[in-house]
């Protein structure tokens, strides 16, 4: 049995290869990556590994991270990049679309999302935003949904929902933001499943054939998309029906929760251990 100090470096190397490809493709040098990594190491050491019964110190952070005290102090003074706005935009869009597709006030008799006036009495796009996206200006939300291709304006100036799936179309920036959001969620799930104590594991499964006939890939992609989309829509409907935290008068605890599915393919790999057989 391999020791952890053999397994983990190998796992990190495999994880970093696609990340390095993305970084190099977008002209992010190793020096920039190194500075970002230092910031994250320091942040995690400071917030998640405090000494028992004592205040966190620069010396302890330096010991945990392997950086010098001088370097810790230097890096802590550097502004920290954040993807908070990207997360906020995704959440706003999701909540508005969920309201539009599940709130009976914005559906016709057959359950189809209504075409909405921009302003005016409910049902209107402005009332939809006020009900499901807090105090964000309706025009800002409309501009975001138009930009990513989730809605369109009709000839008479009304708003029609054309997609229930947030897939950025306006440029590569939003897709790169999703890189951080989605990958972090997956790694947090893996971390939970590795280090859980009395908690149940999070669902994490994968099917992979290492030498699968390429001629069947179009059928596989179509099947995976159909089945995955159906599952996600079912889960979304269930979660929307139970998403009443904003209307609850109690101090009920809330957590982020969901499921992410993705298709993958790549070069064939020879393997003596075939977990799929």
**In a domain? residue 252:** no
pLDDT, tens digit, for every residue of 184-205?
889 999 999 988 877 889 999 9
17 by DSSP, 3-state: which? helix
| pTM exceeding 0.85 | no
Is 35 in the same domain as 77? yes
**In a domain? residue 173:** no
Is 5 in the same domain as 66? yes
Rounded to an integer, the average pLDDT of 80-89 is 64
Is 71 in the same domain as 100? no
Give the C-alpha distances (Å, rounded to integers) separating 149 from 91, 129, 146, 163.
16, 17, 5, 8
Q: Are 123 and 132 in contact (CB under 8 A)?
A: no
Q: Are 93 and 148 in contact (CB under 8 A)?
A: yes
How many helical (H) and strand (E) elements, i.e. helices and strands, does the chain have? Answer: 9, 2
pLDDT, tens digit, for every residue of 27-59?
888 988 998 999 999 999 999 999 888 889 999
Is 108 in the same domain as 124? yes
Domain stops at, among 81, 96, 123: 81
The H-assigned helical ranges of 49-171 are: 58-65, 69-76, 84-102, 125-132, 138-147
Q: How many domains does the chain have?
A: 3
* Average confidence score pLDDT of the chain: 84
Query: What pLDDT band is residue 248 in, cutting at 50, 70 and 90?
Result: low
Query: What pLDDT band is residue 246 in, cutting at 50, 70 and 90?
Result: low
pLDDT, tens digit, for every residue of 69-78?
999 999 888 7
DSSP designation for 158: -
Residue 102 in tokens? 């599940």
Rounded to an integer, the average pLDDT of 2-18 is 86
Rounded to an integer, the average pLDDT of 248-269 is 83
Q: Which of 37-46, 115-124, 175-184 has the lowest mean pLDDT?
A: 175-184
Looking at per-residue pLDDT, the higher value among 177 and 212 belongs to 212
Is 10 in the same domain as 41? yes
Q: What is the pLDDT of residue 269?
A: 74
Q: What is the pLDDT of residue 275?
A: 47
The strand ranges marked E within the chain are 151-153, 159-161
Domain containing residue 91: 84-161
Domain stops at, among 99, 128, 161: 161
């Amino acid at each position: 049995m391999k020791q952890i100090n053999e397994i983990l470096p190998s796992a990190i190397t495999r994880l970093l290869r696609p990340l390095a490809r993305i970084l190099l493709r977008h002209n992010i040098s190793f020096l920039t990556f190194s500075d970002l990594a230092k910031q994250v190491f320091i942040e995690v050491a400071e917030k998640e590994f405090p000494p028992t019964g004592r205040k966190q110190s620069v010396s302890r952070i330096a010991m945990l991270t392997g950086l010098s005290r001088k370097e810790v102090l230097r890096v802590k003074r550097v502004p920290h990049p954040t993807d908070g706005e990207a997360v906020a935009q995704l959440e706003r869009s999701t909540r508005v679309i969920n309201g539009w597709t599940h709130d009976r006030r914005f559906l016709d008799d057959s359950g189809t999302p209504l075409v909405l006036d921009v302003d005016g009495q409910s049902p209107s796009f402005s009332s939809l935003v006020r009900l499901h996206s807090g105090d964000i200006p309706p025009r800002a939300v409309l501009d975001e949904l138009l930009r990513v291709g989730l809605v369109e304006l009709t000839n008479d100036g009304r708003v029609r929902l054309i997609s229930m799936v947030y897939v950025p179309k306006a440029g590569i920036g939003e897709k790169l933001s999703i890189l951080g959001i989605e990958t972090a969620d997956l790694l947090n799930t893996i971390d939970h499943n590795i280090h859980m104590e009395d908690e149940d594991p999070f669902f994490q499964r994968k099917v992979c054939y290492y030498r699968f006939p390429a001629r069947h890939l179009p059928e596989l992609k179509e099947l995976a998309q159909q089945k995955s989309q159906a599952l996600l829509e079912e889960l979304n409907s269930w979660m929307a029906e139970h998403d009443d935290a904003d209307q609850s008068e109690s101090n009920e605890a809330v957590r982020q929760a969901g499921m992410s599915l993705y298709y993958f393919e790549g070069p064939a790999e020879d393997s003596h251990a075939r977990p799929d057989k």
